Amino acid sequence: MKPHLTWFSLYWLGWILAFLAPELYWLAVNSANTLSAETWALENLDKAQPFDFPMWTATHWGVALVVWLLFLWLSLHLPFGLLR
């Protein structure tokens, strides 16, 4: 029988926790220091109108596409084990 927890799965768990711990900390303390706030600050996103799509640069679209694809993949992979 194959073990559920391997060194490789612990490696990925470490990566997830290494991201989540600082992100959750900054959400609680100062949301201006989160990854998304730092990313969009580089692009000078107008936070009053974040969905003003004609103002988006190629970087805006690239980041949005990567996030959407990651969400799509995770929504199929994690609950169903698809797209391995």
Asked if the structure places residue 11 within a domain, the reply is yes
Residues 6 and 38 reside in one and the same domain: yes
**pLDDT per residue over 42-57, tens digit each?**
777 777 777 788 878 8
Asked if the structure places residue 49 within a domain, the reply is no
The structure tokens 């169903």 sit at 80
Asked if the structure places residue 67 within a domain, the reply is yes
Ranges in the chain, pLDDT < 50 = none
Residues 10 and 32 reside in one and the same domain: yes
Give the residue numbers spanning the domain of 81: 55-84
* Domains: count for the chain: 2
pLDDT of residue 83: 59
pLDDT of residue 55: 79
Report helix, strand and coil shares of the chain as percent, to nearest 5.
70, 0, 30
The structure tokens listed for 50 are: 């974040």
Asked if the structure places residue 48 within a domain, the reply is no
- Tell me how crowded residue 71 is: count the other CB atoms within 10 A of its CB: 10
Q: What does the longest C-alpha to C-alpha distance in the chain come to? A: 54
Residues 35 and 64 reside in one and the same domain: no
Asked if the structure places residue 77 within a domain, the reply is yes
